[in-house]
Amino acid sequence: MKRHDLSDVEWARLEPLLPRHPRQGHRWNDHRLVIDGIFFRTRTGCPWRDLPERFGNWKTVYNRHRRWSGDGIWEMILDRLRAGCDEAEGAAWTVAADATVVRAHQHAAGARRAPPADIDPARLAPAPLSPPARPGSAGELPGREALGRSRGGLTSKIHLLADSGCRPLARLMGTSRSSVL
């Protein structure tokens, strides 16, 4: 077991939350090995094809990550892991909200018009945001993009809601002029 791989205690908590093997077709590869591969790729930022062989075939790791992202499995796992975190801290549990505006590259505009065929289009729908402070502002791009135009170029506003243990609870994106929270 490498330094950043899941420990036995972490795996015991995570394993019951994972989807079971499909009834039809072949059995999935070991979830623990695939999840370690996903965490390795997320931590290092390497291309999928450069994943070390100890995690198995890179395509298996990529497909599982993509399938679980599209099906909402990762969100369900994180929601279940977060449940009860506030009980341990009792009255000292607090929530903090923070926001930052980030610049986007000029090529960030122009999201796909049609969603990928293997992911439910409802999963890709943008989260409903509060109405903009200035309705009908000409600087906002229409559609699924959370980009706004300003003198500095294209920008997005990222809001993060975290608890007192610095565990993220929610993340929202909007244009630089929107007030989401």
Given this model, what pLDDT does residue 138 score? 46
78/80 Cα distance (integer angstroms): 5
| 10 pLDDT above the threshold of 70 | yes
Tens-digit pLDDT profile for residues 40-67: 998 898 999 999 999 999 999 999 999 8
What's the rounded mean pLDDT across residues 100-107? 72
DSSP letters spanning 102-167:
EE--GGGS---SS--TTS-GGGGSPPP-PPPSSTT-TTBPPTT---EEETTEEEEEEEEEEETT--
Range with lowest mean pLDDT among 9-18, 57-66, 150-159:
150-159
Alpha-helix residue ranges (DSSP H) falling in the chain: 8-14, 31-44, 58-71, 73-82, 85-89
Higher per-residue pLDDT: 125 or 15: 15
Domain boundaries, the chain: 8-82, 92-109+128-175
Per-residue pLDDT for 168 more than 90?
Answer: no
Neighbouring-strand partners of residue 71: none
